[in-house]
């Protein structure tokens, strides 16, 4: 099959990604998902789609514009792929509209959340809404005319606008104006009513502005109003090998992204032809770039609904527990790590009580001499940045590798980097041409006459906000073989060390892909020799062609391969003679699966004696070749058991896990949940809660 039909070996990554977002949309449609969480999933779906157009469709249009029309390894050329994407997106948007207006809105009305249009308001309610508008909305609106004296205004990325067609009493031709709907104020206006019990009666900001435009355009006839939104290309890369100042280049990329070409125009179902034609001409887009739908279904407006103070319509509160190995408050993390490596699993186990505590103790410990760490996405109000500044002010050597080109976090990372530098922190700005995606922290501590090093290797960002709903694992260790190699990795990042012979770590782009390929091939050899052979791998995305081909060969050799891939996946499972031993699953639910764990049985009869690895990389070409990534073996038996539990729980789940089929579709979880049977996320919550309570009892009995 592979030689006669080489293109059917792989799925297309863009179409596979859209399938992933369809699974997110399914969560919004699932009546067993709490009602406001369904709205939040709609918001996530919409935000995901925005990013997809900015990055992937933007890249595709750039490729087409350059005339690079060759057929990809999955069998489609860029023009055909753009058509397939368009068809899929239109179908998804229809489902989104039906989901919100026909399923969620009626269900919310039963719970006291009612969406109003202007015509639904009484005269007194209209007066109150107009008073609010005059005080809080109209002062920040700026109508921009479009005529020979007023050029077409700049439209910022993802901003909602109103296109207005007007008739001046002294002119025969129509006039046009654009009004930007402000995002700095609530997108929904609460209409007070005398109701019991209390309800939320909401009018959209777009509707409020639309029906009061006569105050902006007095004595003019408003012929039509059309809400719309533009998406601009974010696939801009100005880097070259001879860059003199990385900060300047990234800042220039941000400036160019702001005015980049438009890749999508979204507008209301009821369009105004003259306005639409003008937008099409001014934005230099084709009818194929226009997507019709509700202007209210944008990410920000949906998030406001999801944030309504109705806890009964949300998931039960989740409180991360203190990791069992770090439960004793009287014992420092350094003392705990001197006894054994510690594996933590977020968000079930607390990020603040583990990673943040590790940094805090390092800052406040007079014996700590140096702190080194990487930062990819630290978050908007990171508690880590002040700690690193405090450490520098206390005279400790602090080294931070800040990745300036973390997509959509560039401006924030530049801000953090400059703040750290001003405080005396040694800041390295990543590497030209290679994103630093590795998640590592190293603490150097004086103990007696010697130095001892303590490290953390993670799968997720050092971000206290996302750690509350991303599933990630992190490994704390003071193994000298590991920490000495961490020194080498930091020297590679800050001083361009050329060391390549890492024994513990798999480091991309130096040795990681080759090591993974060797491990997959070795597993195939085990199967050929009738020894136990199994591969399990959990990651965000899978599309590296060499890895896929190696997995196909291992499958043909008889290796059982279980892949847990949350996002897009280009490998085709279940094909006789090619991949019948490969299964692919994807879990979608309350938390975003983000951890990367890899397992190779290596011929061992006891599965726990096999090789476990964890770290920052997915099996993607960019991770293995164009990023700095770190993967580390897990050697402590207790931590191996934990990794095994994570993998097996995911594979056993029937409540929120989808299975990828040979034809590229995903088989959904059971539509009716078995009573008492927990989904994988709730199962983990219960497991860690039980373990924490057991640890508390153990401490109380001392």
Kindly report, residue by residue over 104-149, the tens digit of the pLDDT. Answer: 999 999 999 999 999 999 999 999 999 999 999 999 999 998 877 7
- Quote the pLDDT of residue 373: 97
Tell me the residue range of the domain where 191 lies.
115-313
Is 211 one of the catalytic residues?
Answer: no
- Per the domain annotation, does 396 fall within a domain? yes
Distance between CA 416 and CA 394 in Å, rounded? 19
The predicted model scores a pTM of 0.93
Out of 26, 211, 345, 437, the active site residue is 437
Q: Which two tokens stand for residue 241?
A: 């090998």
Mean pLDDT in residue range 413-437: 88
Mean pLDDT in residue range 328-355: 95
Dihedral sign from CA coordinates of 682, 687, 692, 694: positive
**Percent of the chain, pLDDT > 70?**
93
- Per the domain annotation, does 12 fall within a domain? no
- Quote the pLDDT of residue 3: 46
- Per the domain annotation, does 62 fall within a domain? no
Does 304 lie in the same domain as 205? Answer: yes
Looking at residue 270, the DSSP 8-state letter turns out to be: S
Q: Which two tokens stand for residue 555?
A: 């499958």
Does 648 lie in the same domain as 516? Answer: yes
CB 624 within 8 A of CB 513: yes
Which among 327, 357, 324, 588 is positioned nearest to 464, based on CA atoms? 357
Does 469 lie in the same domain as 582? Answer: no
Distance between CA 435 and CA 668 in Å, rounded? 35
Q: Which residues contact 612 (CB under 8 A, 6 or more apart)?
A: 597, 598, 599, 633, 634, 639, 640, 643, 644
- Quote the pLDDT of residue 92: 96
CB 342 within 8 A of CB 326: yes
Does 521 lie in the same domain as 491? Answer: no
Mean pLDDT in residue range 11-37: 96
- Per the domain annotation, does 332 fall within a domain? yes
Residue 327 has pLDDT above 70, yes or no: yes
Looking at residue 100, the DSSP 8-state letter turns out to be: I
Task: Encode 387-404 in three state secondary structure.
Answer: HHHHHHHCCCEEEEEECC
CB 569 within 8 A of CB 16: yes
Does 458 lie in the same domain as 573? Answer: no
Distance between CA 493 and CA 510 in Å, rounded? 12
Neighbours of 450 (CB within 10 A): 7
Does 461 lie in the same domain as 330? Answer: yes
- Quote the pLDDT of residue 199: 85
For residue range 637-651, what is the model confidence (pLDDT) as tens digits?
999 999 999 999 999
Number of domains in the chain: 3
Alpha helix positions (H), 196-313: 205-210, 246-258, 273-283, 299-306
- Region of poorest pLDDT, from 17-26, 248-257, 401-410, 425-434: 248-257
- Per the domain annotation, does 65 fall within a domain? no
For residue range 435-485, what is the model confidence (pLDDT) as tens digits?
999 999 999 999 999 999 999 999 999 999 999 999 999 999 999 999 999
Mean pLDDT in residue range 583-597: 97
For residue range 52-105, what is the model confidence (pLDDT) as tens digits?
999 999 999 988 988 877 877 777 889 999 999 999 999 999 999 999 999 999
For residue range 140-190, what is the model confidence (pLDDT) as tens digits?
999 998 877 778 888 999 999 999 999 888 787 888 999 999 999 999 999
Residue with tokens 């979880």: 669
Distance between CA 500 and CA 691 in Å, rounded? 41
CB 470 within 8 A of CB 408: no
Does 519 lie in the same domain as 403? Answer: no
Neighbours of 390 (CB within 10 A): 16
Residue finishing a domain among 473, 495, 517:
495
Q: Which two tokens stand for residue 679?
A: 């989904």
Residue 43 has pLDDT above 80, yes or no: yes
For residue range 528-574, what is the model confidence (pLDDT) as tens digits?
999 999 999 999 999 999 999 999 999 999 999 999 999 999 999 99
Residue 312 has pLDDT above 80, yes or no: yes
Residue with tokens 């193994």: 479
CB 441 within 8 A of CB 467: no
Residue with tokens 């978050």: 379
Does 511 lie in the same domain as 471? Answer: no
Residue 4 has pLDDT above 50, yes or no: no
Which among 514, 515, 513, 535 is positioned nearest to 524, based on CA atoms? 535
- Quote the pLDDT of residue 674: 64
Distance between CA 255 and CA 249 in Å, rounded? 10
Any idea what the CATH number is for the domain that residue 238 is in?
3.30.1840.10
Mean pLDDT in residue range 481-492: 96
- Quote the pLDDT of residue 269: 80
Neighbours of 382 (CB within 10 A): 18
- Per the domain annotation, does 83 fall within a domain? no
Does 571 lie in the same domain as 674? Answer: yes
- Per the domain annotation, does 285 fall within a domain? yes
Answer with the residue of higher pLDDT: 679 or 672.
679
For residue range 616-673, what is the model confidence (pLDDT) as tens digits?
999 999 999 999 999 999 999 999 999 999 999 999 999 999 999 999 999 999 776 6
Does 283 lie in the same domain as 141? Answer: yes
Does 341 lie in the same domain as 205? Answer: no
Which among 6, 158, 26 is positioned nearest to 587, based on CA atoms? 26
Residue finishing a domain among 250, 285, 313:
313
Neighbours of 199 (CB within 10 A): 14
Distance between CA 215 and CA 209 in Å, rounded? 10
Residue finishing a domain among 281, 313, 345:
313
Answer with the residue of higher pLDDT: 289 or 701.
289
Any idea what the CATH number is for the domain that residue 534 is in?
3.30.870.10
- Quote the pLDDT of residue 5: 44
- Per the domain annotation, does 19 fall within a domain? no
Does 201 lie in the same domain as 346? Answer: no
Distance between CA 51 and CA 196 in Å, rounded? 41
Mean pLDDT in residue range 271-293: 92
Q: Which two tokens stand for residue 387?
A: 């700690």
């Amino acid at each position: 099959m592979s030689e006669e039909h080489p293109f059917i070996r792989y799925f297309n990554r863009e179409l596979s990604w859209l399938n992933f977002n369809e699974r997110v949309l399914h969560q919004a449609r699932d009546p067993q998902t709490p009602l406001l969480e369904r709205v939040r999933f709609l918001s996530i779906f919409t935000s995901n789609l925005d990013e997809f157009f900015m990055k992937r469709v933007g890249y595709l249009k750039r490729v087409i514009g350059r005339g690079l029309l060759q057929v990809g390894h999955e069998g489609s050329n860029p023009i055909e792929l753009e058509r397939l994407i368009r068809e899929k997106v239109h179908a998804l948007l229809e489902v989104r509209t039906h989901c919100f207006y026909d399923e969620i809105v009626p269900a919310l009305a039963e719970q006291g959340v009612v969406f109003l249009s202007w015509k639904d308001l009484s005269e007194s309610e209209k007066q109150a809404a107009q008073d609010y508008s005059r005080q809080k909305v109209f002062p920040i609106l700026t109508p921009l005319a479009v005529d020979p004296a007023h050029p077409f205004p700049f439209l910022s990325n993802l901003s909602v606008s109103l296109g207005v067609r007007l008739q001046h009493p002294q002119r025969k031709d129509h006039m046009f104006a654009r009004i930007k709907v402000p995002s700095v104020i609530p997108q929904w206006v609460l209409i007070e009513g005398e109701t019991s019990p209390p309800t939320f009666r909401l009018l959209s900001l777009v509707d409020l502005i639309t029906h009061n435009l006569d105050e902006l355009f007095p004595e003019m006839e408003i012929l039509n109003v059309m809400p719309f939104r533009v998406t601009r290309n974010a696939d801009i890369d100005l880097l070259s090998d001879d860059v003199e100042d990385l900060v300047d280049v990234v800042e220039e990329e941000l400036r160019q992204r702001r005015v980049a070409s438009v890749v999508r125009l979204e507008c209301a179902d009821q369009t105004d032809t003259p306005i639409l034609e003008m937008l099409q001409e001014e934005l230099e887009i084709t009818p194929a770039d226009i997507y019709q739908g509700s202007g209210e279904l944008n990410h920000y407006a949906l998030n406001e609904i999801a944030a309504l103070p109705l806890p009964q319509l949300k998931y039960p509160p989740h409180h991360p527990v203190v990791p069992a190995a770090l439960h004793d408050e009287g014992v420092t993390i350094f003392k705990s790590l001197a006894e054994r490596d510690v594996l933590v699993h977020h968000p079930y186990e607390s990020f603040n009580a583990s990673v943040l505590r590790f940094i805090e103790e390092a800052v406040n410990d007079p014996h700590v001499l140096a702190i080194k760490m990487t930062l990819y996405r630290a978050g908007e109000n990171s508690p880590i940045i002040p700690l690193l500044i405090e450490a520098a002010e206390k005279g400790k050597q602090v080294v931070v590798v800040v990745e300036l080109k973390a997509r959509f976090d560039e401006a924030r990372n530049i801000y953090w980097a400059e703040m750290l530098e001003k405080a005396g922190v040694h800041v390295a700005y990543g590497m030209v041409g290679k994103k630093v995606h590795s998640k590592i922290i190293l603490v150097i501590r004086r103990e007696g006459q010697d130095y001892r090093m303590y490290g953390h290797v993670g799968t997720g960002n050092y971000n206290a906000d996302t750690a509350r709903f991303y599933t990630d694992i992190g490994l704390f260790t003071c193994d000298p073989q590991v920490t000495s190699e961490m020194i080498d990795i930091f020297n590679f990042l800050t001083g361009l060390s050329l060391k390549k012979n890492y024994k513990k770590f798999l480091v991309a782009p130096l040795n990681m892909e080759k090591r993974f390929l060797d491990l997959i091939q070795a597993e195939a050899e085990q199967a050929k020799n009738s020894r136990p052979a199994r591969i399990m791998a959990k990651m965000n995305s899978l599309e590296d062609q060499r890895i896929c081909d190696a997995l196909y060969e291992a499958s043909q050799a008889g290796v059982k391969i279980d892949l847990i891939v949350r996002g897009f996946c280009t490998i085709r499972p279940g094909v006789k003679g090619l991949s019948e031993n490969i299964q692919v699953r994807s879990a979608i639910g309350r938390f975003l699966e983000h951890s990367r764990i890899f397992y190779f049985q290596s011929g061992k009869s006891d599965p726990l004696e096999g090789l476990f690895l964890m770290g920052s990389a997915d099996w993607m070409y960019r991770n293995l070749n164009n990023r700095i990534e770190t993967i580390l073996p897990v050697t402590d038996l207790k931590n191996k058991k934990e990794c095994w539990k994570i993998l097996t729980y995911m594979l056993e789940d029937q409540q929120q896990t989808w299975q990828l089929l040979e034809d590229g579709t995903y088989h959904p979880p059971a539509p009716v949940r078995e009573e008492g049977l927990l989904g994988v996320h709730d199962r983990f919550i219960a497991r860690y809660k039980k373990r924490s309570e057991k640890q508390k009892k153990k401490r109380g009995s001392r």
